[in-house]
Amino acid sequence: MRLHMGQVSLLRWVNNATITGWQPLWSYPSSCKISAFYCGAFSACTSAGTCACIDGFRPSDPDEWRLGQFVSGCSRVIPSDCEDGISTDSFVLLDNLQGLPANPQDTSEETSEDCEATCLSQCYCVAYSYDLSGCKIWYNVLLNLTFGNGTIHHTKISMRIGSHGKRRQGHIQHVMLVIGPIVVGLLIMLVIFWLYKISSRQTKVDGFLAVYTYTQLKRATRNFSDKLGEGGFGSVFKGTVAGPTDVAVKELKSFGHRDKQFRAEVQTLGLIQHTNLVRLFGFCSEGTRRLLVYEYMANGSLNSHLFSEGTSILSWNLRRRIAIGVGKGLSYLHEECRDCIIHCDIKPENILLDAEFCHKIADFGMAKLLGRDMSTALTTLRGTIGYLAPEWVYGQPITHKADVYSFGVVLLELISGRRATGNGNHRYFPLYAAAKVNEGDVLCLLVLDL
């Protein structure tokens, strides 16, 4: 029996000549016609009661879809290419949806071309529609979609899809046809030489972590010119490495035991592979320089969307998915890794969002490996005031429960939109929230704008 994101499933283990793994026997709700949130983002309910990705998208988690769990939704086949209002994306016309998605934003554009241009210039815009009623655009994600049954008039909506990969492929094919076999042979030789140069400058740690030189990372970050943020352990810069792939390069500050701290972080992160944890691509260790190379998260940290003025308010559904995702990430660290990993600093600043608003836990700079028997305790105060568990204050042994406490504070901030500290007369919001719950006044704790 399994409870996953509001769906109860009965699974059976199958091990035969054709298949090995869990197979679903029964689930409820068993149809998207029963539950409004049965299908996830960018997927639509079919006439058969199952979910299917819309054109240009594919399942975000194929394993969950195979088990009949569709709430993880779909993501673009080709990632969006948009930055500072400049985009090479294109649109695909969907004419098989039953009605328009909810919560569009009406604009004043008077032509279909102007409507498309407005959506293209806004990186958060995912779709637009233009008809006699005017121009409508949608931001971030599309939910609760339904495919038409072929017997009614269907609404036309244009979905944003990436085009960079398709354009590059077409360009290469054109060059090959024009220049001929001789130039193709030269290109192959150049590629082999380039791969050799890359392999000579990069080695592997534990089979998958790349080792970069300081010169490589200096070039990748354009001399560390695009600063994303700064924390207690160092500054983070945006860069681009071979691929091309956008990355976040964290340059650690010089401090005592820096080599020990650096190597502990690399060894810890090198073992971690989870959809709700920021992935480490590689590192640099030259002289006194210590740098880490992470995957790039385009939408920044959760706190910038929860507490900053002028940002769009996160929907309840997205807040729920963030809470579930962070919980999954912590569960993996605590229970599923070879050794229990305690993060020690769970807070909105360390929960990052990618271009599709997928959420991942970041900044393991203060993490420490503990044996599964919890016999080793952390003795040095770590973390951020407002999110620290009582064990830190009273000098008690620190276990994974300290992360659970911090996660609880983050959940309060998610549902209330208020920081744990610094809220007017309520200096520590969790205590205020506990008092209101005891009084039976729960609604006053919720986000007022939703």
Binding residues for ATP: 250
Q: Which residue type does 137 have? A: I
The end-to-end CA distance of the chain, in Å, is 34
Cis peptide before 29 (omega within 30 of 0): yes
Q: Which residues are catalytic?
A: 345
Main-chain dihedrals φ then ψ at residue 72, nearest 5 degrees: -70, -15
3-state helix, strand, coil in the chain (%, to 5): 30, 30, 40
Other CB atoms within 10 A of residue 229 CB: 13
Q: How many residues does the chain have?
A: 450
Angle between helices 181-201 and 164-179 (to 10 degrees): 130
Single out the residue of 99, 95, 102, 132 nearest to residue 115, CA to CA. 132
Cβ neighbours of residue 234 under 8 Å, at least 6 residues apart? 250, 251, 252, 253, 365
What are the Cα distances from residue 41, in Å, to 70, 276, 352?
9, 17, 19
C-alpha span between 111 and 89 (Å, rounded): 19
CB 252 within 8 A of CB 258: yes
The answer to whether 161 and 171 have CB atoms below 8 angstroms apart is no
Query: Phi and psi at residue 389, in whole multiples of 5°?
Result: -70, 155
**Dist CA 414 CA 60 (whole Å):** 24
> Rounded distance, CA 197 to CA 199, Å?
6
Round to whole Å and give the CA distance between 72 and 325: 10
Question: Residue 438 is inside which H or E element, if any?
Answer: helix 429-439
- Known binding-site positions: 250
